[in-house]
């Protein structure tokens, strides 16, 4: 009997030892899960930390006015969604109005003859409901350019030698009256250029996209217009008009110019009715 009991104990012990291999796997799995959970937690913390490091400040604060000392420019390049009110005068002046936090993030520098207005960092979080206004005065201008959705507005008109207007995006340029020897307007995107009155020897207009150039109030001796896309342009030419369309755009003209027209697509070139 004692021998049988010892034998049974030995077999039970052996069975337990054999089973130990079976129970090692769950233990390893549990340990792996704990390790994976730790790694996942570290990953989440690092991800949140990185997100916080790239989070940019939102604009806000009270609306303030700030005068800046920027001089010596003839061209203005706008890369923030601001309304820029342009005047021509004997002295330079620059005033910016908007939320205090936003103004801290706007950089104004003169590079050569160009005044550049842009964000200090391209990651800045801008609230489109907040309004930015800029008031500038300079003796003369050679150009205005927009990258994005800002606008230039010259309510009192401009008298300059040469003027180039350029929009890349959905911005607006509105000039009540312009007198220039050479006048050029170009749009890449859905922007709008409106020239209500004036005179020029040579007017050049180009549109790539769905933009619009309205210059039928500016009397030009010669005009050249090119449209690629669905944009539309109206001009006034008394000498010669060189017009070309590739796409579904429209060119309308005033006067009785010597017309050179070429259309590829469903676009139309016709006199203003």
Q: Which two tokens stand for residue 204?
A: 């050049």
| Distance, CA of 126 to CA of 148 (rounded, Å) | 13
β-partners of residue 200 are: 180, 220
| Distance, CA of 242 to CA of 255 (rounded, Å) | 13
pLDDT tens-digit series, residues 118-175: 999 876 666 656 789 999 999 999 999 999 999 999 999 999 999 999 999 999 999 9
pLDDT higher than 90, residue 15: no
| Distance, CA of 116 to CA of 136 (rounded, Å) | 13
Q: How confident is the model at residue 13 (pLDDT cuts 50, 70, 90)?
A: very low
Tell me what pLDDT residue 124 has: 62
pLDDT tens-digit series, residues 96-132: 999 999 999 999 999 999 999 999 987 666 665 678 9
Of 54 and 248, the structure prediction assigns the larger pLDDT to 248
Cite the beta strand spans of the chain per DSSP E.
63-67, 75-78, 83-88, 93-99, 106-111, 114-119, 133-138, 143-148, 151-154, 158-159, 162-169, 172-175, 178-189, 192-195, 198-209, 212-229, 232-247, 250-254, 258-264, 268-271
Tokens 């079976």, residue? 22
| Distance, CA of 162 to CA of 146 (rounded, Å) | 18
pLDDT higher than 60, residue 16: no
Tell me what pLDDT residue 128 has: 58
Tell me what pLDDT residue 131 has: 87
Q: Chain-wide mean pLDDT for the chain?
A: 84
Q: How confident is the model at residue 216 (pLDDT cuts 50, 70, 90)?
A: very high
Nearest to 188 by CA among 165, 166, 172: 166
Tell me what pLDDT residue 46 has: 40
pLDDT tens-digit series, residues 217-261: 999 999 999 999 999 999 999 999 999 999 999 999 999 999 999
* Structural contact between residues 201 and 179, judged by C-beta atoms closer than 8 angstroms: no
Q: How confident is the model at residue 25 (pLDDT cuts 50, 70, 90)?
A: very low
Tokens 């690629």, residue? 228
Q: Percentage of residues in the chain with pLDDT exceeding 90?
A: 73
DSSP state of 132: -
DSSP state of 56: P
| Distance, CA of 108 to CA of 92 (rounded, Å) | 14
Its CATH class, for the domain covering 63-271, is mainly beta
Nearby residues of 260 by Cβ (< 8 Å), 6 or more positions away = 240, 241, 242, 243
């Amino acid at each position: 009997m004692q021998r049988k009991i010892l034998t049974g104990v030995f077999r039970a012990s052996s069975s337990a030892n054999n089973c130990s291999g079976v129970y090692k796997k769950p233990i390893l799995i549990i340990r792996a899960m704990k390790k994976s959970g730790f790694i996942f937690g570290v990953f989440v913390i690092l991800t949140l930390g990185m997100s916080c490091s790239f989070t940019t400040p939102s604009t806000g604060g009270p609306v303030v006015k700030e005068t800046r000392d920027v001089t010596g420019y003839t061209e203005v390049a706008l890369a923030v969604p601001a309304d820029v009110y342009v005047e021509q005068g004997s002295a330079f002046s620059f005033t910016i109005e908007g939320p205090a936090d936003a103004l801290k993030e706007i950089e104004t520098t003169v590079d050569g003859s160009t005044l550049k207005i842009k964000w200090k960092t391209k990651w800045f979080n801008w609230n489109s409901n907040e309004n930015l206004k800029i008031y500038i005065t300079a003796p003369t201008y050679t150009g205005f350019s927009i990258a994005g959705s800002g606008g230039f507005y010259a309510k009192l008109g401009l008298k300059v030698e040469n003027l180039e207007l350029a929009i890349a995006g959905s911005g607006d340029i509105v000039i009540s009256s312009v007198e220039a020897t050479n006048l050029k307007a170009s749009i890449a995107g859905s922007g709008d250029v409106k020239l209500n009155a004036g005179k020029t020897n040579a007017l050049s207009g180009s549109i790539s996209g769905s933009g619009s150039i309205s210059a039928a109030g500016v009397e030009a001796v010669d005009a050249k217009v090119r449209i690629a896309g669905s944009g539309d342009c109206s001009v006034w030419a008394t000498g010669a008009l060189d017009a070309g369309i590739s796409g579904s755009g429209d060119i309308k003209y005033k006067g009785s110019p010597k017309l050179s027209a070429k259309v590829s697509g469903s676009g139309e070139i016709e006199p203003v009715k």
